[in-house]
Structure 1
């Protein structure tokens, strides 16, 4: 089976690798090189890097121009597979291949349609999430799905969940393609009454707040990223909390808006208790274990607050 694969970020790489191991990937379409980290140099997308490593032809495209459409037609693929490509596909692309165009979406549709399903499921405290293999339609993630796989959410960071879901999605995609070819795929229309939307995360949503619950603050840390970090003002200085967990039973009470260092552990007080910070990055310094940060403090207690 000849396949065109479209994807850009790390999440899409396992799908590409698994497709390349089982099918003929005739073309990989990804977004153009861009400034993707704190440096100012242009960097290839993770999908481009993986495609070149696999010896696959790559087409960089940020939109579907007439020239791009001509190249897609010339490939004469049987199916198009998409995973977080980041470009709106016109109807002409969706119907170009005989078996259509399927998408690897990181949620159990119809829950969490949209741009940030992984972060949203963490912030909402979902017990489980997953991946759906779906048809791409006119609306955002509105198409029917033919396969789903799931995993648990609690305690996992966005990066950890992304990697787990990426593997699940790649396996589902490879297994689904034969059912598209022989017509045995069973499509389920989404229940519109169960839809939730996963809007892009705003930086302000992940700021830590002593007026929130300890659980909510921990979820903000787990959902955070370089693009939207979990930050606060700790002891009068801004910092990013890199990792945190809910405090164990038996930890002494810490007032909301206060921090306490106990047995080299750092606790931040919230509206209903406290949570433990296990890794922290003060502005202008490297990330460090909270015990290392605590060792540099003159007092074992102080205050923390919302970053303005």
Structure 2
């Protein structure tokens, strides 16, 4: 089966990597021939303004150095004709990052791996929203792509248990589980033993792209702050009005009532910081325009002791 991959971030790279592992280790006689990659353009990244390639590009280059890699600013006629010339049997889309036009979807059957149980949480940030909601299980869906936002018929779903992970570790597990589901779908499509399930649009919900402002917190509820910390781990992180980031929150206690930002107790490697309801155990922080540091070092430098206010 001639496969064009379409995806950009680490989630897509992990999914593609595990899909190829499934294909290599499975005894079924389904062979995947990777014929190209469609991904986003290289972007300027970090304070040093260095040009950074998408993780999928680096991954594909390491395994398939001779296949074409397409990085258009938008999907135009030239891109579509170039991909048509490759004659893909299937296009696998994972977090590509652009709306795909109908002319692209007409090239070959397009399957999309989405990090939620559709039609719940269509859109750009389903993993973050699932972490904020804290269900017992998280899930992924594989769907047939059609014009519209994550609205195609469902071909397969998979679940993982909620183990209290942050965005990074949960994304990894969901990408791995998604690859397994995608591999199962490809095998069943080959034998024509799969009946697509149309989504019920009446049950749909949506999530939007995360912005830096989503990381702004107030210390009203310790549990809510902690789940935001898990959901926005890495970027945008969680930070208070002064710009101070909480880069490592060990855990929280939901009970008790305190002043917002009250330094309840300074421990050997962390500090207990009060919220209006509950408290947080914080191990490290990052002041504006400075490097991350242990909270104990920050408190010493700021001359803050137990009973003072962190904010």
Q: Could you state the TM-score of these two structures normalised by the residue count of structure 1?
A: 0.88
Correspondence 1:1-308 to 2 at 5 A: 1-21=1-21, 22=23, 23-56=32-65, 57=67, 58-97=69-108, 100-153=109-162, 155-211=164-220, 213-232=221-240, 238-248=243-253, 254-264=258-268, 265-296=270-301, 298=303, 299-305=305-311
Greater shift in the superposed pair: 3-12 or 62-71: 62-71
Greater shift in the superposed pair: 134-143 or 187-196: 187-196
How far did 1:19 drift? 4.1
How many Å separate the matches in 2 of 1:201 and 1:32? 20
Query: Contact 2:256 / 2:277 at 8 angstroms: preserved in 1?
Result: no
How far did 1:74 drift? 0.9
Query: Is the alpha carbon distance of 1:38 and 1:118 closer, same or farther for their aligned partners in structure 2, counting shifts above 3 Å?
Result: farther
Query: Contact 1:126 / 1:154 at 8 angstroms: preserved in 2?
Result: no
Query: Contact 2:139 / 2:157 at 8 angstroms: preserved in 1?
Result: yes
How many Å separate the matches in 2 of 1:181 and 1:103? 17
Query: Is the alpha carbon distance of 1:64 and 1:167 closer, same or farther for their aligned partners in structure 2, counting shifts above 3 Å?
Result: same
Query: Is the alpha carbon distance of 1:27 and 1:19 closer, same or farther for their aligned partners in structure 2, counting shifts above 3 Å?
Result: farther
Greater shift in the superposed pair: 259-268 or 131-140: 259-268
How many Å separate the matches in 2 of 1:38 and 1:148? 39
Alignment RMSD: 2.2
Query: Is the alpha carbon distance of 1:126 and 1:192 closer, same or farther for their aligned partners in structure 2, counting shifts above 3 Å?
Result: same
Query: Contact 2:265 / 2:273 at 8 angstroms: preserved in 1?
Result: no
How many Å separate the matches in 1 of 2:112 and 2:56? 15
Query: Contact 2:6 / 2:93 at 8 angstroms: preserved in 1?
Result: yes
User: SS at 2:85's partner residue?
Assistant: helix
Report Cα offsets for 1:125-183 as digits up to 9, x if no partner: 33321111111222211111111111233521111111111111122212211212221
User: SS at 1:301's partner residue?
Assistant: coil
How far did 1:200 drift? 1.4
Query: Is the alpha carbon distance of 1:13 and 1:222 closer, same or farther for their aligned partners in structure 2, counting shifts above 3 Å?
Result: same
How many Å separate the matches in 1 of 2:164 and 2:61? 35
How far did 1:63 drift? 1.7
Report Cα offsets for 1:257-276 as digits up to 9, x if no partner: 42233333312222212121
Query: How many equivalent pairs are there?
Result: 298
Query: Contact 2:9 / 2:54 at 8 angstroms: preserved in 1?
Result: yes
How many Å separate the matches in 1 of 2:306 and 2:54? 45
Query: Contact 1:6 / 1:80 at 8 angstroms: preserved in 2?
Result: yes
Greater shift in the superposed pair: 164-173 or 148-157: 148-157
